[in-house]
Amino acid sequence: MKKISVLITALLFIVAGCEEDKGYYLSGNIEGVEDSKKVFISEIDTKTKTPKVIDTAMIKNGKFEIDMEDQELPNLSFLRFEGLNGNVVFISENQRIKFKVDKDSIRNTEVIGGKENKALSEYLGHLKEVNRKMMKMQQDMRKAMVSQDTAKLRTLQETQAELRDNDKNFKKELYSRNKDSYLSVMILTDMLSMKTHSSAEIREMYEGLSDRVKKTPLAESLKETLERYSAAEVGSKAPDFTGPNPEGEEISLEENLGKVTVVDFWAAWCKPCRVENPNLVKTYNKYKEKGLNIISVSLDRQGQKEKWVQAIEEDKLGQWKHVSNLQFWQEPIARKYGVTAIPATFILDKDGVIVAKNLRGDALDNKIGELLQ
């Protein structure tokens, strides 16, 4: 009987342990919210890249809890509360995750539990502090410019550069400590979109991620973007493309290469592009007889063809080829070239190899002159 008793006790202990380990389990406290208000749990949809509600919980006596289905892979997730503005950002993981919610300041919610969310909390805290310092610095710089205090302005600019360098170093260090975390993919994605690191450097860091993290949709999306960047890096053959001009005629890059060709990404709505256009016209007029060619690709919106055509006329750009699918940031040619900001320029030699990119003004003029000598 003693042996049976010991066996039963062991089984009960195992069962109790299984019940305690609830896996992906959310709970939280939120004061001052009436009962029966809903808590919406969302995660990033892999197709639309937008939050999608996957489950709901109910608030009762200032608390909520829900036992979620275990996650095969982590994902960026959100809590939203019925009747309140703002979201709580967290990472889904098979841990007990608790939320201390301030209904008057949802973004200040404390997320407790899980290594993924601990790392995320550190990252978000860093971004918040950097943003606070940058905003304060910009205010001080405006005051210095108004008062024409050049010494103060120079000091602030140096401090700003130092802050940016510290931000870059912090992100790299945080990535190195979290190579098996979803956060590491978020960090690399931010680095790429903000252009704080080269795509080659980010590609090398991507290879250092764990195999588990590389399976997440965000990591797969990052890999695709890096491959597009690789295809349009200096030294690579420029990706060929075909697109409609304002008259609907299909224009291809390969059929319109010159001794030197500039592929210029712009849009009628882009003020920096419009400011740069006179420099582009000046450079073209200076070197067109020597073999310079330009093809401009517009990122204007669908239904705004007239604005695109009007801008070509106003800025005197009609001397060269223009194409656009009028798909805004989804412009397929821009995506092929990994363009995430405009104006963007790619300078190609006679064989269509990218020899330089993102040069403007005198820098562009000098490079064209050098290549055509």
The b/e string for 304-330 (b: 16+ C-beta within 10 A; e otherwise) is beeebbebbeebebeebbbbbbbbbee
Q: For residue 252, give the nearest of 262, 243, 239 by alpha carbon.
A: 243
Residue 18 has pLDDT above 60, yes or no: no
Q: What band does 258 get if pLDDT is binned at 50, 70 and 90?
A: confident
Residue 78 has pLDDT above 50, yes or no: yes
Q: For residue 345, give the nearest of 335, 330, 360, 333 by alpha carbon.
A: 360
Q: Round to whole Å and give the CA distance between 337 and 260.
A: 18
User: pLDDT tens digit string along 113-135?
Assistant: 999 999 999 999 999 999 999 99
| Residue 194: per-residue pLDDT | 84
Stretch 6-19: mean pLDDT? 43
Stretch 98-106: mean pLDDT? 93
End-to-end CA distance of the chain: 99
Residue 144 has pLDDT above 60, yes or no: yes
What does pTM read for this prediction? Answer: 0.71
Domains with residue ranges and CATH for the chain:
19-112 (2.60.40.10), 117-231 (no CATH), 242-372 (3.40.30.10)
Q: Round to whole Å and give the CA distance between 97 and 114.
A: 7
User: pLDDT tens digit string along 290-338?
Assistant: 999 999 999 999 999 999 999 999 999 999 999 999 999 999 999 999 8
220 CB-near residues (< 8 Å, 6+ apart): 214
Q: Round to whole Å and give the CA distance between 242 and 180.
A: 41
Residue 69 has pLDDT above 90, yes or no: yes
| Residue 231: per-residue pLDDT | 79
| Residue 225: per-residue pLDDT | 87
Residue 49 has pLDDT above 80, yes or no: no
| Residue 4: per-residue pLDDT | 43
Centroid of chain to Cα 173: 19
Please say whether the beta carbons of 265 and 334 come within 8 A. Answer: yes
Please say whether the beta carbons of 368 and 260 come within 8 A. Answer: yes
Residue 268 has pLDDT above 70, yes or no: yes
Stretch 53-74: mean pLDDT? 94
| Residue 22: per-residue pLDDT | 63
